[in-house]
A and B are shown apart, each in its own frame.
Chain A
Amino acid sequence: MDYLFEMLVLALTWALINNFVLHYFVGICPFIGVSRRVDMAFGMGCAVTFVITIAALLSWLITYYVLRAGAPLTTLLSGGKTLDLSILNYTVYIFVIAGSVQFLEMYIRKFFRPLYKAFGVFLPLITTNCAILFACLEIMKHVCAINDPLGGLVPSLVLAAFGGIGFMIAIVIMAGIREELDHCDVPKSLRGAGITLITAGILALAFMGFTGVDRGLQQLLQDKEQVAESAAAPAGQNN
């Protein structure tokens, strides 16, 4: 029960508080480029979430079992020597991502033909989406650290999936705002990227209001535990 609550707080943290786009500045290029219409933005958000989760799963497996210092498979194959292959991390991650995007492309071409046509060139461009590589790097940071409770498979997948959902939230909000901006009289030099970035700045300001929510939730959990313990103690003493 505690673990589930911890994972929920982690999910909330990555979706809203440490939002990939508005806090960490990753995934800006599609954020500016694809956020013209809400349905395109939603489709892009779903595609990115899908790719992030697959890429995160694969990179976690490879980092844990092969690449980090003292990884099980590498030790097994090298006859007991502890090797540190972490210099290959970045190269492996980018190829895992490229492969995941290929997989996504095949899947969408087969089952969602009109969506495939609508995406056009933006689908292979998901490979250069910083958000996916960023998720892999965060996971690498936790897996390679010593005794890090966030280095497990479930926290890493939560990070990736909800990071993607946070990206989707940001890009859909931006698309909604831009659809309204189309009816406004934006100064000529600010049209396009300029006004989008200024809007993103105001959005980032709004999302900053979420800071500290995860800490508050954790305090709430601790207080509840303490109340439960002090309620259980007298009950036990009465026995």
Chain B
Amino acid sequence: MAGTGPTPLERFINGILPENPVYRQVLGMCPTLAVTNGMKSAMTMAGAVAFVLICANVLTSLIRNLLKPHLRILVFTLTIAVFVTIADRIIAAYMYDMSKQLGPYIPLIIVNCIIICRCEVCASKQGVFTAVSDAVGQSLGYALALTTIASVREILGSGTWFNIPVLPANWPDWVVMVLPPGAFLTLGLLMGAANWIGTNLGQRRKSAQEAA
């Protein structure tokens, strides 16, 4: 059924900013808060989510015509659980330190609303190429969101970025930023900032259109 719904390019671009999974759709909050105390763990999580999202989207899109309506959530869940197990094992085998740091948050990707949402909204209705571009777009958007939060938390909290010191040595680390309260505060303020930018851009576009 080609021609229905947004094109692959639209899906791709939408995922990065307009329909950003964290800032716009407010999905996948749990790992966003937990792993963003350092850039390294944030990027590992973004990579794991990208892997699961792309694989799940591809598989769901391939079998989309065989899905029975009331069993589809079951199929999505099964697919996602299997790919998350595979991702978890790969990380434990090849990045053992990261695996210890990320702990239970990799298996929690199974209940990450982003992936089920994309399977339901896009992959079960459109072709493989569209599904892949949607998955890649959403993953990039997610990685972007994680980068913004993790950068703020790591730079203010430990003075480093990817474990490289970026602030002078006498910076008094704002330890609260790497602790739970800092996570909530950072995400809340950044979300406010994203909303403000979004409304401002929208208003400017409107006034530019009205002036034209």
Chain A positions within 8 Å of B, measured between CB atoms, are 22-29, 32, 87-91, 94-95, 98, 127-130, 133-134, 137-138, 141, 187-190, 193-202, 204-205, 208
The answer to whether B184 and A204 have CB atoms under 8 Å apart is: yes
The answer to whether B111 and A91 have CB atoms under 8 Å apart is: no
Nearest residue, chain A, Cβ from B26? A193
The answer to whether A201 and B30 have CB atoms under 8 Å apart is: no
The answer to whether A197 and B77 have CB atoms under 8 Å apart is: no
Asked whether B78 is an interface residue with its Cβ less than 8 Å from the other chain, the reply is yes
CB-defined contacts of A197 to chain B, threshold 8 Å: 184-185, 187-188, 191
Partner of A193, one of B33, B85, B111, B191: B191
CB-defined contacts of B78 to chain A, threshold 8 Å: 91, 95
Nearest residue, chain B, Cβ from A202? B181
CB-defined contacts of A204 to chain B, threshold 8 Å: 179-181, 183-184
Number of interface residues of B (CB under 8 A): 40
Chain B positions within 8 Å of A, measured between CB atoms, are 26-27, 29-31, 33-34, 74, 77-78, 81-82, 84-85, 88-89, 104, 107-108, 110-111, 113, 116, 176, 179-185, 187-189, 191-193, 195-196, 199
Q: A87-B89, A134-B108 are in contact. Are A190 and B183 (CB under 8 A)?
A: no
CA distance A87 to B89 in the complex (A): 9
The answer to whether B189 and A29 have CB atoms under 8 Å apart is: no
The answer to whether A190 and B195 have CB atoms under 8 Å apart is: yes
Nearest residue, chain A, Cβ from B188? A197
CB-defined contacts of A194 to chain B, threshold 8 Å: 188-189, 191-192, 195
Q: A194-B195, A197-B184 are in contact. Are A90 and B88 (CB under 8 A)?
A: yes
CA distance A128 to B33 in the complex (A): 17
CA distance A4 to B82 in the complex (A): 39
The answer to whether B188 and A196 have CB atoms under 8 Å apart is: yes
The answer to whether A201 and B183 have CB atoms under 8 Å apart is: yes
CB-defined contacts of A189 to chain B, threshold 8 Å: 192-193, 195-196, 199
23 residue pairs of the A-B complex, CB under 8 angstroms, read A24-B34, A25-B34, A87-B85, A88-B85, A90-B81, A90-B107, A90-B110, A94-B110, A94-B111, A95-B78, A134-B108, A138-B104, A188-B195, A188-B196, A189-B195, A190-B195, A194-B189, A194-B191, A197-B184, A201-B188, A204-B183, A205-B176, A205-B181
